[in-house]
Amino acid sequence: MSFDLVLFGGTGDLAWRKLMPALFQAFRHGTLPEGGRIIGIARDDLSDAQYRDLIRSRFDGVDLAKRPSPEEFERFAGLLHFLRLDLSRPEDYGRLAQMLRERHADVVVMYLATAPDLFSQVVQQLAAAGLNGANTRLVLEKPLGHDLASNRAINETVRSVLSERQIFRIDHYLGKPAVQNLFAMRFGNALFEPVWRREHISHIQITIAEDLGVEKRGAFYDKTGALRDMVQNHALQLLCALAMEPPINAHADAIRDEKLKVLRSLKPWTAEALDQHVVRGQYAAGNVNGQPVKGYREEPGVDPESRTETFVALRTEIASWRWAGVPFYIRTGKRLGSREAHIVVNFRETPHAIFSAPPGSTNRLIIHLQPRDGLELHLLAQGSQENRRNGQVLAPVHLDLDFDKRFGSERVGAYERLLLDVIAGRLNLFVRSDEQEAAWRWVEPVLERWRGEERGPRPYNAGTMGPSAASAMIARDGFCWSEEC
C-alpha cells in the first residue's frame, strides 16, 4: 500500500521530538508500509537535502540503541521530502496538490502538528484545493480548541469537508503500551471483572506527574494550563478506560460508545463540589532532582502576573450502577517531585478481619504507565516471626510484573503505533467528536469558576507533589495519595 504522509509543522517541536523518531522506528521495525513518502510542510526555505540533514541531526542525542547507522538513515531519508508552504496562501496548497497528484498514493495522511487555531483554516484550504478525497485521512493534535464552543467550531468545519471515518483525533496516551495493557487486563482476563465494581473497590487514583517545567512552551502553556493540557484529554481518557463497560466487540465505535457513556455519567459540578473537590496550583521556585529551578512566573514567555494553573487535583464520581459512590481522584502537574504516571485501584477491606495487619495495608492494584510499564498487585500474606511477635499476623507483599522486561524490544511506542493505525485506517485508539464535546462540557464549569475567582492558583514549591490542599481534599474522604500512605 502506497502512502503520502504530509506533516504540517514539519520543522516544529512535535515533529522533532516525537513524530520523526516514531516514523523512523516503524521504518526500522519493518512495519512502515513500503512505497511511502513523508513530506514536511513549513514556512522554512529548505531543500529536500537540507530537510534530511535537519532530521538527521535529531538523532544525534538519542540512545545508541535508537540511533540509526549512516546506512540506515540514508535509506530512511529516501522517504523524506520538504515543501515550503504558507498556510495563509491558497496558491501554496495548489502546489501541494500538484505534488501529491504526481503519484496518486493509495492513502494520503494530513497530519496537523500546528497550533489548534490554524486547524479550521488549513482544512478549508485543503478542501478548496481538492485534497479532501476519499483516500485522505486527517490527524488532529490536541488540544482541539480551548473550550466547548471552539471545539465544536473546529469539528463542524472538519466534518463539513471530511467524513468522521477520515478524522483521527489523536491522544497519544491511548497509544501507550501500558494503556493497551489496561484494556487487555480488563477485557482479556476473567480474573478482574467480578471485582471491578463498587462492592469491592473503595476508590481509584489517577496521577500524571512531570518533573519538568514548561521548557520552551511558556507562551503556549500560559494560554492553556493543566486542566486543558492534561485533564480534559489524557486523564479523562484513562478514567474512561478504567470505568467503561465491556464493549460488544473490539470495533472502534463499540469501544468509543462505551467511553462516551462514562463521560456522560460523570457527576455534574455543583458550587459546593467546585469549592471542595477541585484544587489548582502553580509552581514556585524550588529544587527538582537536586537542582534549583525557577518558578512558573519566571519562565520565558510566561506573564509575570500569570494565574495559569500548572497543577490540578480533583475528585469526581460516576453515576452508574457499577461505580455509584466510588470516588475517582485525578492529579496532574508540572515541576513535581517525580516523573511518573500511574493508576492505583484501592480495594475495600475484608468485611470481617480475623487476622491483624499493619494499618492501611489493604489490597491494591497499581498500573504503572511511565517511566516504567507494568502492574503491581499488593496483597497480605503470612508475616515473619518478628511480625508475629509484634502482634501482626499478616504482612504486605506484592507481585510485580514489568512489561518492559517481559517484552523488551517487542514494545512499540505510542506515536509509532498511532501513526501506523492512521495509515491502516484503524480508528480504535482515536477520539470521536462526541467524546471530546462531552469532556469539554464536563470541565467547562471548572474553567468558569476559576475565571470568576479573585484568588489565583495555590503556590507549591517545585520538587513537591503539589499544594497541601490536594492532600486535604482526599483526606476529607479518609484516604491519602499513594506516596503519603
The verdict on whether 352 is a catalytic residue reads no
Return all residues near 34 (Cβ < 8 A) that are at least 6 apart.
none
Q: Where is 112: in which H helix or E strand?
A: strand 107-112
Task: Find, among 76, 85, 81, 78, the residue nearest to 8 by Cα.
Answer: 85
**In sequence order, what are the beta bridge partners of 279?**
313
The three-class DSSP label of residue 341 is: strand
Rg of the chain (C-alpha set)? 24
How far apart are alpha carbons 112 and 334 in whole angstroms? 26
As annotated, the binding site for NADP(+) includes 43, 86-87, 142
CA distances from 32 to 77, 314, 423, 447 (A): 14, 41, 9, 41
Centre a 10 Å sphere on the Cβ of residue 81 and count the other Cβ atoms it contains.
19
- Catalytic residue (choose from 81, 234, 277, 378): 234
Q: Which residue has the cell 490542599?
A: 469
- What is the longest distance spanned by two Cα atoms in the chain? 83
| Cis geometry, peptide bond prior to residue 116 (ω within 30 degrees of 0) | no
How far apart are alpha carbons 115 and 117 in whole angstroms? 6
As annotated, the binding site includes 43, 86-87, 142, 172, 176, 210, 229, 334
DSSP assigned state of 252: H
Task: Find, among 477, 470, 445, 436, the residue nearest to 240 by Cα.
Answer: 436
Task: Find, among 54, 64, 49, the residue nearest to 20 by Cα.
Answer: 54
How far apart are alpha carbons 76 and 54 in whole angstroms? 13
CB 170 within 8 A of CB 416: no
In the chain the first and final C-alpha atoms are separated, in Å, by 53
As annotated, the binding site for substrate includes 172, 176, 210, 229, 334
Task: Find, among 275, 256, 303, the residue nearest to 439 by Cα.
Answer: 256
The three-class DSSP label of residue 81 is: strand
Q: Where is 270: in which H helix or E strand?
A: none
C-alpha cell at 273: 463540589
Q: List, as one string, the DSSP characters of 435-466.
A: HHHHHHHHHHHHHHHHHH-SS-PEEEETTSSS
Residues with catalytic roles = 234
